[in-house]
Amino acid sequence: MSDAQTLPFADPATEPWYHDGRMLAMLSAAAFSLKAIFVKLAYAAYPVDAVTLLLLRMSIALPAFVWLATAGSPAAKRQPLTRRQWGGLIALGLLGYYLSSLFDFIGLMTISAGLERLILFTYPTVVLLLEASWRKRPVPRGVWLGMALTYLGLVAAFGHDLRHQGELAAVLVGAGWVFLSSLTYSGYYLGTAALIGRVGSARLAGIAGGAAALFVIAHFALTHPFTALAALPAAVWAGRPPWPSSRPCCRSGWRRAPWSGSAPATPPRSARWARR
């Protein structure tokens, strides 16, 4: 294999940057990290709960999922799927896009976006341990050291949230929900490795995401009236707090800022149910 194939940034004659997996991985990680910030801003804008926010997210993304599932990959690669593959894709949607996102959004009601990111990004260590257990391979000593440093960082982040929120129970509950999100996302990650080669990345993301969107819509229909969406202010859709509510964030710092680590002051009944 030539250097131009292995180092596409080095030669302008190679494929465009958006075909390079490394660049796409970096963009994915950056966008993935911003999600928690927009969720916290939406919580600060209006007393909305996790299921409603998740419905907004998946409804906006649904057209993209449909396109990925139907036209996002070349026609030559869109082979008919077997029942087992359909079942695997729906299971991946349940784990990675529905349950993992739901647990994450619930956790963000009581912890900061920074702590949420640290906990959620422990999923590579969970994947490593699960795969090592499944394949019965020992984990190298250097990897154990890296994992120890990762979890020391989590302890420091816990201390930050406790200083700024002051409620140990709320921080622990929120962290527990996000760790559940990390576990379910780890299952999704392992499942993609088994299917992506046969299904293709675009169809996998489209079908799994579309299935998850249907799960979220059903969840919302069972727990909320759809008329509640009409009452949501534009700030929730935009993922930003209105100006009057953002001024206290600037004046009093992060300690009292609603989106930095605490839940809305008066959450609706569905939000209180989500914390249980």
Q: What is the pLDDT of residues 46-64, one digit of tens each?
A: 888 999 999 999 999 999 9
What pLDDT score does 58 carry?
A: 93
* Of residues 150, 147, 154, the one with CA closest to residue 171: 154
Which pTM value belongs to this model?
0.73
Q: DSSP class of residue 93?
A: I
**Other Cβ atoms closer than 10 A to 244:** 7
pLDDT for 5-20, tens place per residue?
444 444 545 666 666 6
pLDDT at res. 239 = 57
* Domains of the chain, residue spans: 36-275
**Cα atoms in the 13 Å half-sphere on the side-chain side of 123:** 21
Q: What's the whole-number average pLDDT of the chain?
A: 76
Q: What is the CA radius of gyration of the chain?
A: 20
More confident residue, 68 or 145: 68
Q: Which residues contact 262 (CB under 8 A, 6 or more apart)?
A: 110, 165, 170
Average pLDDT over residues 106-118: 86
Q: What pLDDT was estimated at residue 271?
A: 39
Residue corresponding to tokens 């008329």: 227
Residue 242 has pLDDT above 50, yes or no: no
- What pLDDT does 210 receive? 94
Tokens for 267, please give them: 């959450």
Look at residue 172 and tell me whether its pLDDT is greater than 70. yes
